[in-house]
Structure 1
């Protein structure tokens, strides 16, 4: 169709073809939401926008990045995508997502991680990798260890290995005797592989499952976990390129503060972050300005104890304006300013396990060899 790429020079004048390269440059500057609609304009635009080289280039342009929350509400059995930079009550901030690919069973969904626009879901003991922006999805096979039924998974992680252009799911499990085994799933190979020679102390009990946080610049998955032999938190990191575990130091003096009743972990902007508080002490938020450099930990927020509305705050992310987004208990999404003052809140549902929520970056990326 020649008319697809023609532009009119003026009334009564002939049209000429717009170079494909110019169209590509224009489309690269548009957000995912617009590109998803523009696939329907014509076949040539569909071809450009669907090209893996285009989607990779588009994702690499920071100016086009839009971060959102994906949130599951058990009461209404809905999945929602929320622009957390807008007010929660703004009608344009929230959209409903399609989850028809999941089996019609009880609404039990856990979010085990997110990376480059994809979200790792655990639904009814099955793992799925899902792109909320495009609805692309892939069900992972069960690992050989899980199929034995003798091991409990206590760590999940999801990240990207740029050296192989591969997405990796990591899981660690232990049996009743404390034997720990670590498995990796390669989406490119579509297979699980057990890591050999891994020596991890038993860092979680049987009722404490933790999900990892992927930090792009480090190419590593991170978990805030607990060492029971010495009763202290620590950050475990897994380098996806080197396939190696290490420890990230906590802030100086952090371990000695025994007044903390809760401690949460995540990413604020491009930095690893900690949020801690207690019944008898102020709540604090720290960020690590330089990766793995202990002295770079910086305390950015201290909220006096009499201003804390609840002792169970879960840190999620920060807005472009520097406000903090998190959960209060199992019921409410909140936004606070950089002084810890509550700006707004949105109640969802009081359920024992809360509502699963995570940050994802809108993208048009596809998974390796994904033909679904």
Structure 2
């Protein structure tokens, strides 16, 4: 009888902490707590090993984006998306609160990490999470692809005449992922936005100032 009660309580707890409302509430609490912690200098996370088991721990500097061959792509509502290896295009999404791990389809055409840009975010229109990557397929062209967690299938969206500036870092803002890139023909630096709902790539207008 006690074992049955334990299983029932465990099932209720798993359902509770897996709910999106709980994840968002817990995330807000954690963010507020961390923002008021002046002694916070590093984050300890668990990185999957090559067999996708969460058994490798590492300490990251908050200002350090890339580490070894693994990279945090992004996070949203308690989910964390990261690469296991950029050399073979392996990407995982995990929910640290429950320990759940989802292995995503291998990115087609991936080469090395400096030849690709990444992004991860939540699409409120479809109630789904999306992973976006731009892969350098030519010295002056980048191919953008997108994957939804529900489908776990990569879709080709657009081939653009743009190239990266240094190590590409993404910024998620207002439902869109942004990168700093350079127009291949004119060498003009631009800010490119990928709208997660419309899955469209646009250029963000910049101030009419010689400093930009």
TM-score, scaled relative to structure 2: 0.70
TM-fit CA distance, 1:86: 0.8
In the aligned structure 2, how far is the partner of 1:110 from the partner of 1:150? 12
Ranges in structure 1 where 5+ consecutive residues have no aligned partner: 3-40, 69-81, 259-372
TM-fit CA distance, 1:88: 1.9
| Residues 175 and 196, structure 2, Cα contact 8 Å, conserved in 1 | yes
TM-fit CA distance, 1:107: 4.5
Bigger strand fraction: 2
Residue 202 (str. 1) matches residue 150 (str. 2): no
| Residues 220 and 237, structure 1, Cα contact 8 Å, conserved in 2 | yes
| Residues 171 and 184, structure 1, Cα contact 8 Å, conserved in 2 | yes
Q: CA RMSD in A?
A: 3.8
In the aligned structure 2, how far is the partner of 1:233 from the partner of 1:192? 28
In structure 2, what is the equivalent of residue 140 of structure 1?
104
| Residues 143 and 156, structure 2, Cα contact 8 Å, conserved in 1 | yes
In structure 2, what is the equivalent of residue 103 of structure 1?
50
SS at match of 2:109: helix
In structure 2, what is the equivalent of residue 249 of structure 1?
205
In the aligned structure 2, how far is the partner of 1:64 from the partner of 1:45? 26
Alignment of 1:1-372 (within 5 A): 45-51=9-15, 55-61=19-25, 64-67=28-31, 83-88=34-39, 96-99=44-47, 101-103=48-50, 107-125=68-86, 126-146=90-110, 153-195=115-157, 198-204=158-164, 208-215=166-173, 218-227=174-183, 229-253=185-209, 256-257=210-211
In structure 2, what is the equivalent of residue 17 of structure 1?
none
TM-score, scaled relative to structure 1: 0.43
Q: Which has the higher contact order (CA 8 A, sep 6+)?
A: 1
Return structure 1 stretches of 4+ with deviation > 6 angstroms.
none
SS at match of 1:87: coil
In the aligned structure 2, how far is the partner of 1:151 from the partner of 1:123? 11
Ranges in structure 2 where 5+ consecutive residues have no aligned partner: 57-66
Larger Rg, first or second structure (1 or 2): 1
Aligned length: 193
The 3 A distance-change label for structure 1 pair 114 and 57 is closer
